[in-house]
Amino acid sequence: MATPIFQTSTFSFGTAAEGARRFAGEEEGYIYTRLGNPTVRALEDRIAVLEGGERGLAFASGMAAVSAVLIALTKTGDHVLCSNGLYGCTYGLLQMFEEKYKITHDFSFMATEEDVRNGITEKTRCIFIETPINPTMKMIDLSMVARVAKEYGIPVVVDNTFCTPYLQRPLDLGCDIVLHSATKYIGGHGDVIAGLVVGEKAFMDDLAMSQQKDIGGILSPFDAWLLLRGLKTLHVRMDRHSSNADEIARKLKEHPKIKHIYYPGMKEHEHHSIVRKQMRTGGGVLAFELEGSKEEAQQFMDRLRLIQIAVSLGDAETLIQHPATMTHAVVPEEKRREMGIGDSLIRLSVGLEALDDIWGDLVYALNEV
């Protein structure tokens, strides 16, 4: 019932001729775990089915997956159009691309077709989207962006970490490549670092034989086994994360010390119509702004007793972090504010605990500020 763990670095051949055939691609079979492993392959096959893609690939981290895809799609002088808001390390990677390899990037709100068209240049080689955007929870209409991108022959890459294939399926909406930090909800228990990519077989075959093989950011068999275990309970966990987050968002909205609440599942969310069109629920992550300063936001976090201060998300435990000084600290202040990341903004990854326990901890800490 459980997928075996093939904890081996290399595979032996029955004969020299068999080894030669495998290296030549004339015969199916395993050679070396950096090039393929049965446990890892089981995970790759499963995520491809869940996302509705032709092939999946597993990487050592979410950023290894992001890096591999962007390297595969670009070369010196090219341009990447991005959603106006990205995970801090993705932003840092794009900055490095620009400084070292002259691969430029621009940000767009992508609110309309005109926004997308205005952001595309003759050098644009891919559109990279987070939706919901981390940590502001803004939404982008994936089918609209995909429709425009296809007119220009530009692939659309979607970071689907916050949603997983249970809540949102970008490939079904016309996008070309979907990726995950599987560290988060797919693993679900805070005990593995991993990344996943799904897309058409031709592109994924090239990605496997170039960026994955030669750069070598591969996933270990044991970590693949942990993710296979996590996938078995994904739908159950996502339902609980979502229902808890929905209730917490509604309660926070009524609290006098909360200035703004950002949760896609609320009807008041500016992009709720997009959420209803492309997501099953609002997900398990929300953000809110306190009526106060950065210091007061940090004071609030320090008063929490159950909720842990940690920068990840999707764990069984509820986690809280301060984006301006943590996950998005690498982003210059002016750009952060343009993205909507102020000093009093806090991101909450709502866990699987009893709702009353989560809410009780938040109320206690808010009363202490």
Residue pair 347/321 in contact by the 8 Å Cβ criterion: yes
Give a yes or no: residue 246 inside a domain: yes
What is the rounded CA–CA span in Å between residue 120 and residue 110?
11
Burial 285-303 (b: 16+ CB within 10 A, else e): bbbbbbebeeeebbebbeb
pLDDT at 290: 94
- 18 CB-contact burial (10 Å; exposed 0-12 / middle 13-18 / buried 19+): middle
Residue type, 91: Y
Identify whether residues 224 and 268 lie together within a single domain.
no
CATH number at 316 reads 3.90.1150.10
User: Which residues, in sequence order, are bridge partners of residue 195?
Assistant: 59, 181
In this structure, the number of other CB atoms found within 10 A of the CB of residue 259 comes to 13
Helix (H) or strand (E) holding 55: strand 55-59
Q: b/e per residue, 336-367, with b = 16+ CB within 10 A?
A: beebbbbbbbbbbbbbbbebeebbebbeebbe
Q: Which of 55, 87, 141, 176 is catalytic?
A: 87
Distances (CA, A) of 338 to 145, 269, 335: 21, 19, 5
Q: Which of 159, 176, 223, 343 is catalytic?
A: 159
Q: Which of 41, 55, 169, 184 does the annotation list as catalytic?
A: 184
Tokens of 131: 């939706």
Residue 30 — φ and ψ, nearest 5°?
-90, 150
- H or E element: which one contains 262? strand 258-262
Q: Looking at residue 179, what is its pLDDT? A: 98
pTM of the model: 0.95
Selection from 233, 176, 186 nearest residue 43 by Cα? 186
pLDDT for 348 equals 98
9 found inside a domain = no
- DSSP state letter for 2: P
Q: Give yes or no: 184 in active site.
A: yes
DSSP output for 172-184: GGT-SEEEEETTT
Question: Of 184, 213, 232, which residue sits at a domain end?
Answer: 232
Strand, coil or helix: 270: coil
**One domain, residues 182 and 249:** no
133 shares its domain with 191: yes
Q: Which CATH number is 204's domain given?
A: 3.40.640.10
Which residues partner with 82 through β-bridges? Answer: 107, 128
User: Is there a domain that residue 137 lies in?
Assistant: yes
> Number of folded domains in the chain?
2
Q: Based on the domain organization, do 251 and 264 belong to the same domain? A: yes
Burial of 326 (0-12, 13-18, 19+ CB in 10 A): middle
Domain end: 198, 232, 266, which one? 232
pLDDT in tens, the chain (369 residues): 899 999 999 999 999 999 999 999 899 999 999 999 999 999 999 999 999 999 999 999 999 999 999 999 999 999 999 999 999 999 999 999 999 999 999 999 999 999 999 999 999 999 999 999 999 999 999 999 999 999 999 999 999 999 999 999 999 999 999 999 999 999 999 999 999 999 999 999 999 999 999 999 999 999 999 999 999 999 999 999 999 999 999 999 999 999 999 999 999 999 999 999 999 999 999 999 999 899 999 999 999 999 999 999 999 999 999 999 999 998 999 989 988 999 999 999 999 999 999 999 999 999 999
Say which residue the tokens 């993205």 belong to.
Answer: 339
Residue corresponding to tokens 């296809």: 150
- Domain shared by 227 and 361, yes or no: no
pLDDT at 187: 98
Q: Which of 21, 32, 34, 115 is catalytic?
A: 34
Do 353 and 239 lie in a common domain?
yes
Would you call 159 a catalytic residue per the annotation? yes
Return the structure tokens found at 366.
Answer: 């808010």
* Res 155: pLDDT: 98
Do residues 337 and 246 share a domain?
yes
Q: Which domain holds residue 190?
A: 16-232
